[in-house]
C-alpha cells in the first residue's frame, strides 16, 4: 500500500476510479433517505396513514442511519471493509423489497429503520477507506471530491423520485432502491479491493468496541471536531426543515422557484468543496474550518436581523443562506480528515461516531424550527444562528485549532529549484584559498576560519547560481 502521506504519484485514472466507487457508495444514503419524499401523499392515501405517520418513516430512516454507523464502523475495523459493505448492501436490498410490499404504515416504518441501518455502510465505510489509503492533504482532496456527490445526491434524489413516480407508484421507488443496492454489490465486488490489512484490524468483541469508543471520546480534539460537525449539520437540517415554509408560505414562491433557490444554495456548497481541495494546499485545514465557522455565524446573525426587521425582503434571507451553505462546503471535508488523523487502527469506529453525531444532533434542529412556528423566517434563522455560534464555541474552546497538528500546507512554488541537502558538489577554488585552508589544518591549536564564500561549517556548499556569480566576481578582481 502506498504511503498515506506521500501518495502524490497516484495516477489520475486510479483516483477517478476510487472517486466513482466511493462516491456511488456514499450516494446510497442520501438516495435512500430522499428518493421517496415525493411519494408521501401517495403513501398516506394507499396505507390510510396520516402525514405525521408518513413523516415518522423518514425519522426512522435517519435513526437507523445513525445506529447503523455505530455498528458497521467497529465491525469494519475488526473484519475489514469489504465484507461489512457487501453484507450491509445486501440487507439494504432485502429491506427495500420488504418496503415495497409493506401492507401497513407501521410495517413500512420498521423496514425503513432497517433500510437506513444498512445504507449507513456506504457512508461510514467509504470514509474509513479514505483513511486507510490517505492522510493529510491527499485525504482532504479526495473527500472534497466525494462531497460533490454528497452535495448533489440530496438535491437530485427528490427530482429522481418524481420521475420514477411518473412510471410507477410509490412501491416502485423501493424496487428502484433495491436495484441500486444490487448494482452497488457488484461495484464493491469488482471495483473495491480490501484496504485494511489483517495486521491493522481490531478484535475483542463488544467489550473491545466499547473500550475503543470510550478512548476516542476521551480525546478532546476529536470530541470538539465531532461536536463542530454535528452542530453545523444541525444548522443545515434547520435550513432544510424551514426553508420550504419560509420561501413558499412567507415569500410566496412557487414550488419550481423554491427548487431553483434550493439548487443555487446547493451549488454554493458544491463549489466550496471543490475550492477547498485547492485551498488546503496553501492554508492549514483547521484554519479554513475556523474561518468558515466565523463567516457562517456572521451571516446567520445578519439573517436574523433581516428576518426580524423585514429589511431587504427575500434577499435578506436568500443571500445569507447562500453564504452559510457555502461555508458548510468548507467544513464537511475538513472535519473528518482532522478528526480521523490519529485513528488509523480505528478509522471505522471513529468515522461511525462522526456520522452518528451528525444525524443525532442534526435531527434535533428540525423539530426546533417547527416548535417556534413557520409563519416567519425568524425561527429558521434563529436556529441556524444558535447552531453556528455553538459550532464556533466547540471549535475554539474544545477542539482548539492551535492544538491540531499534523496537516501542513504544501510548500510555496517558486521559480528556483532548492538544492539537494545531501548532495556534495566539488567546487574548484583559487589556489591561494586552498593553501590557506591547508595551513590552517596543519597548524596545531589554530582555529579554522572559513572563507567568506564558505557555507555553515560542516555542511557542503551546493553549486548554485549565486555561488558561481561570486566566483566570477573574485576572478575578475
pLDDT tens-digit profile, the chain (477 residues) = 443 334 444 566 777 777 788 888 888 888 888 788 778 778 888 998 887 788 788 878 888 888 888 888 888 888 888 888 999 999 999 999 999 999 999 999 999 999 999 998 888 888 788 777 776 667 767 766 676 666 667 666 777 787 888 888 899 999 999 999 999 999 888 888 888 888 777 766 667 777 877 888 888 888 899 899 889 888 887 887 677 778 878 888 876 777 778 778 878 888 888 788 788 878 888 899 999 999 999 999 999 999 999 888 899 999 999 999 899 888 887 888 788 777 766 767 777 788 778 777 766 776 777 677 667 888 889 999 999 999 999 999 998 888 776 555 444 433 333 334 333 334 444 444 554 554 444 444 444 444 444 443 444 444 444 455 555 555 554
Residue 74 lies in a domain: yes
Q: Cell numbers 409563519 label which residue?
A: 375
Q: Are residues 223 and 196 in the same domain?
A: no
Q: Are residues 117 and 40 in the same domain?
A: yes
> Residue 36 carries which DSSP code?
T
Q: Are residues 260 and 396 in the same domain?
A: yes
- Rounded to an integer, what distance in angstroms lies between the CA atom of residue 302 and that of residue 287? 23
Q: Which residue range(s) make up the domain with 121?
A: 20-201
Looking at the structure of the chain, the number of domains it has is: 2
- pLDDT value at residue 427: 42
Residues 6+ apart with CB under 8 A from 87: none
Q: Are residues 193 and 257 in the same domain?
A: no
Q: Are residues 68 and 194 in the same domain?
A: yes
Q: Are residues 94 and 235 in the same domain?
A: no
Q: Are residues 256 and 112 in the same domain?
A: no
Would you put residue 43 in left (φ > 0), alpha (ψ -120 to 50) or beta?
A: alpha
CA 257-261-263 angle, 5° bins: 110
Q: Are residues 295 and 149 in the same domain?
A: no
End-of-domain residue from the set 405, 434, 466: 405
Q: Are residues 190 and 251 in the same domain?
A: no
- Rounded to an integer, what distance in angstroms lies between the CA atom of residue 299 and that of residue 320? 5
Residue 40 lies in a domain: yes
Q: Are residues 99 and 156 in the same domain?
A: yes
- pLDDT value at residue 172: 92
Which among 271, 256, 377 is positioned nearest to 322, based on CA atoms? 271
Residue 449 lies in a domain: no
The grid cell for 31 is: 438516495
End-of-domain residue from the set 358, 374, 405: 405
Q: Are residues 292 and 241 in the same domain?
A: yes
Q: Are residues 145 and 250 in the same domain?
A: no
Amino acid at each position: 500500500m502506498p504511503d498515506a502521506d506521500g501518495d502524490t504519484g497516484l495516477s489520475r485514472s486510479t483516483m477517478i476510479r476510487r472517486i466513482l466507487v466511493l462516491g456511488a457508495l456514499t450516494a446510497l444514503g442520501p438516495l435512500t433517505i430522499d428518493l421517496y419524499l415525493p411519494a408521501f401523499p401517495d403513501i398516506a392515501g394507499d396505507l390510510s396513514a396520516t402525514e405525521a405517520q408518513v413523516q415518522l418513516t423518514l425519522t426512522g430512516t435517519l435513526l437507523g442511519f445513525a445506529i447503523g454507523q455505530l455498528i458497521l464502523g467497529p465491525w469494519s475495523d475488526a473484519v475489514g471493509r469489504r465484507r461489512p459493505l457487501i453484507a450491509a448492501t445486501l440487507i439494504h436490498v432485502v429491506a427495500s423489497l420488504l418496503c415495497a410490499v409493506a401492507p401497513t404504515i407501521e410495517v413500512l416504518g420498521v423496514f425503513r429503520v432497517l433500510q437506513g441501518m444498512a445504507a449507513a455502510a456506504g457512508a461510514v465505510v467509504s470514509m474509513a477507506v479514505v483513511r486507510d489509503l490517505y492522510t493529510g492533504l491527499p485525504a482532504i482532496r479526495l473527500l472534497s471530491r466525494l462531497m460533490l456527490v454528497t452535495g448533489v445526491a440530496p438535491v437530485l434524489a427528490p427530482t429522481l423520485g418524481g420521475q420514477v413516480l411518473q412510471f410507477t407508484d410509490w412501491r416502485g421507488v423501493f424496487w428502484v432502491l433495491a436495484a441500486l443496492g444490487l448494482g452497488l454489490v457488484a461495484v464493491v465486488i469488482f471495483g473495491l479491493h480490501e484496504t485494511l490489512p489483517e495486521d491493522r484490524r481490531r478484535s475483542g468483541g463488544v467489550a473491545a468496541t466499547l473500550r475503543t469508543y470510550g478512548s476516542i471520546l476521551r480525546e478532546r480534539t476529536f470530541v470538539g471536531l465531532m461536536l463542530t460537525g454535528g452542530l453545523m449539520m444541525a444548522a443545515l437540517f434547520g435550513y432544510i426543515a424551514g426553508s420550504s415554509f419560509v420561501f413558499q408560505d412567507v415569500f410566496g414562491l412557487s414550488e419550481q422557484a423554491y427548487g431553483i433557490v434550493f439548487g443555487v444554495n446547493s451549488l454554493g456548497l458544491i463549489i466550496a468543496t471543490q475550492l477547498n481541495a485547492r485551498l488546503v494546499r496553501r492554508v492549514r485545514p483547521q484554519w479554513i474550518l475556523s474561518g468558515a465557522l466565523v463567516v457562517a455565524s456572521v451571516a446567520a446573525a445578519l439573517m436574523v436581523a433581516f428576518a426580524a426587521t423585514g429589511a431587504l425582503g427575500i434577499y435578506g434571507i436568500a443571500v445569507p443562506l447562500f453564504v452559510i451553505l457555502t461555508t458548510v462546503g468548507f467544513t464537511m471535508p475538513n472535519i473528518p480528515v482532522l478528526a480521523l488523523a490519529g485513528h488509523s487502527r480505528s478509522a471505522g469506529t471513529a468515522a461511525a461516531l462522526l456520522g452518528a453525531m451528525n444525524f443525532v444532533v442534526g435531527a434535533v434542529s428540525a423539530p426546533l424550527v417547527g416548535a417556534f412556528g413557520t409563519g416567519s423566517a425568524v425561527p429558521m434563522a434563529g436556529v441556524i444562528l444558535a447552531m453556528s455560534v455553538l459550532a464556533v464555541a466547540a471549535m475554539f474552546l474544545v477542539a482548539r485549532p492551535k492544538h491540531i497538528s499534523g496537516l501542513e500546507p504544501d510548500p510555496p512554488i517558486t521559480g528556483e529549484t532548492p538544492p539537494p541537502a545531501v548532495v556534495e558538489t566539488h567546487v574548484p577554488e583559487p589556489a591561494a584559498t586552498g593553501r590557506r585552508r591547508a595551513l590552517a589544518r596543519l597548524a596545531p591549536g589554530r582555529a579554522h576560519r572559513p572563507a567568506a564564500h564558505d557555507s555553515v561549517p560542516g555542511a557542503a556548499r551546493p553549486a548554485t547560481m549565486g555561488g558561481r556569480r561570486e566566483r566570477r566576481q573574485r576572478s575578475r578582481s
